[in-house]
Amino acid sequence: MNTKRSAVLFDKARTVIPGGVNSPVRACKSVGCDPLFVAGAQGCMITDVDGNEFIDFVGSWGPMILGHSHPDVIKAICETAPHGTSFGAPCPLEVELAELVCDSVPSLEKIRFVSSGTEATMSAVRLARGYTGRNMVIKFDGCYHGHADSFLVKAGSGIITLGIPGSPGVPDDIVKNTLSIPYNNIEVLEQTLRDAKLDIACVIVEPVAGNMGVVVPEQAFLQKLRDLTKELGIVLIFDEVITGFRLALGGAQERFNIMPDLTCLGKIIGGGLPVGAYGGKAEIMDNIAPDGPVYQAGTLSGNPLAMAAGLAMLKVLREPGFYQELEEKSNWYVEQLTAITADSPVPTVLNRIGSMMTCFFTSAPVTDFESAMKADTERYGQHFRQMLSAGVWLAPSQFEAAFVSAAHDRTHLQKALEMTESSFKKLANM
């Protein structure tokens, strides 16, 4: 595979961009190669600057549920752009999208748009603290909620892929009010939340963990979390930056029928454009300025291009049968993938829910951060490089999800399965 132009660009990038990338995992260090630079993408295919084509299972880290450059989304952007790209003032599109999102996600009564998932989670936690008058935030080991200071405690994929425990530059005085506990552990959960000395404002959780690889929650765990937070007056925040509109129109909360107090959403609500949102009960949301004392602002919040793209995308997602078709396609693909891995001497565990999945190179079930950390990252790196050479674009980290989109058809999936089978045969002989 010719990658000369990518190599040249990477050399140039390292002289003006830290590490040559604008998000650490893109550097591909954990998979033992240099990054490829993307020239464009269409449907489920991605093309690099050297003209190499790949079947894409990253989907811009999840939001491309319709595939890249969906005609309805592109049309909406093109029709909106001539009228302006940013106003710093209210526009009709943000009202329309807010109504549509609130109508789609069961727990949302009011919503505030921001420009990223990190802004959404950071703002939701500030709101929870302001609403309760308490300080402590509880999160879960291996769950990633963006790069705000208070979240970089036993965080997810980006941190663990680089092999660092947190981040320099985060003062102890900030992280002392964040406590991370094991995911899927009901005993520790109850013990922690019932500790009155902790002064807990909120619990934030990925209802399906997607940043230590896909780890599906036990139904009893999420239900216990909801019951305890409600009993103790603790705000429950679902970080659905990955799962929102991915697992169902109403996200993980619809799929599990468990309603949080606040929900954080990410770039999927903008059709892949830079956008995020947080929302929930009106009683809590009314504490945000200008109605209440909790301050949060953003010049690009409600950006017209992102709002238009989000409206176009959500209208497609709301079409009858969309999620059923995506579920059936994903289920078929994983059944075939499971047959391939089961026939191989290479130990693997395949975790999947809906159209998101992770193949862990380990022999034991992966149910939490500790078990995820037992995966063989070197072997994943070998698999990644073999798949890339064969024309399949996977996440450059063992601790990420793969996504099936509406644009993947049986031809694409069958080719990916053939490449996987070939890769596993090579791995078995290494």
Torsion angles phi and psi, residue 236, rounded to 5: -100, 120
- Both 133 and 249 in one domain: the answer is yes
List, for residues 255-313, the tens digit of each pLDDT value.
999 999 999 999 899 888 999 999 999 999 999 999 999 999 999 999 999 999 999 99
| Residue 144 a catalytic site member | yes
Torsion angles phi and psi, residue 366, rounded to 5: -105, 110
Give 98's contacts (C-beta < 8 A, 6+ positions apart): 111, 113
- Both 132 and 244 in one domain: the answer is yes
Domain end call among 317, 339, 369: 317
Strand-pair category, 392-393 with 53-56: parallel
pLDDT exceeding 90 applies to what percent of the chain? 90
Domain end call among 317, 334, 362: 317
Confidence of residue 167 (pLDDT cuts 50, 70, 90): low
Q: Does residue 79 contact residue 308 with C-beta atoms inside 8 Å? A: yes
- Both 266 and 150 in one domain: the answer is yes
List, for residues 371-405, the tens digit of each pLDDT value.
999 999 999 999 999 999 999 999 999 999 999 99
- Both 276 and 362 in one domain: the answer is no
List, for residues 398-427, the tens digit of each pLDDT value.
999 999 999 999 999 999 999 999 999 999
- Both 309 and 353 in one domain: the answer is no
**Residue 82: which CATH number?**
3.40.640.10
List, for residues 7-37, the tens digit of each pLDDT value.
999 999 999 999 999 999 999 999 999 999 9
DSSP-derived 3-state class of residue 239: strand
- Both 338 and 226 in one domain: the answer is no
Q: What is the DSSP letter of 209?
A: B
**Residue 14: which CATH number?**
3.90.1150.10
Mean of pLDDT values over 362-378: 96
Torsion angles phi and psi, residue 179, rounded to 5: -120, 125
- Residue 259's H or E segment, with its range, is none
Residue 374's CB is within 10 A of a number of other CB atoms, namely 13
Q: Does residue 193 contact residue 229 with C-beta atoms inside 8 Å? A: yes
Q: What is the DSSP letter of 327?
A: H
Q: Does residue 166 contact residue 199 with C-beta atoms inside 8 Å? A: no
Domain end call among 290, 317, 344: 317
Handedness of CA 147, 144, 198, 262 (dihedral sign): positive
- Both 215 and 281 in one domain: the answer is yes
Confidence of residue 176 (pLDDT cuts 50, 70, 90): confident
- Both 14 and 148 in one domain: the answer is no
Confidence of residue 162 (pLDDT cuts 50, 70, 90): very low
Res 151: pLDDT: 72
List, for residues 221-243, the tens digit of each pLDDT value.
999 999 999 999 999 999 999 99
Confidence of residue 430 (pLDDT cuts 50, 70, 90): confident
- Both 334 and 374 in one domain: the answer is yes
Report how many domains make up the chain: 2
- Both 47 and 151 in one domain: the answer is no
List, for residues 299-354, the tens digit of each pLDDT value.
999 999 999 999 999 999 999 999 999 999 999 999 999 999 999 999 999 999 99
Catalytic residue among 131, 139, 144, 183: 144
Confidence of residue 369 (pLDDT cuts 50, 70, 90): very high
Confidence of residue 164 (pLDDT cuts 50, 70, 90): very low
Give 2's contacts (C-beta < 8 A, 6+ positions apart): 50, 51, 52
Catalytic residue among 48, 56, 239, 368: 239
- Both 128 and 277 in one domain: the answer is yes
- Both 294 and 335 in one domain: the answer is no
Does pLDDT of 153 surpass 70?
no
Give residue 114's domain range.
71-317
Pick from 400, 420, 414: nearest CA to 329: 414
Average pLDDT, the chain: 94
**Order of strands across the sheet that contains 392-393:** 38-42, 45-48, 53-56, 392-393
Confidence of residue 174 (pLDDT cuts 50, 70, 90): confident
| Residue 267 a catalytic site member | yes
List, for residues 38-58, the tens digit of each pLDDT value.
999 999 999 999 999 999 999
| Residue 380 a catalytic site member | no
Catalytic residue among 29, 139, 267, 329: 267
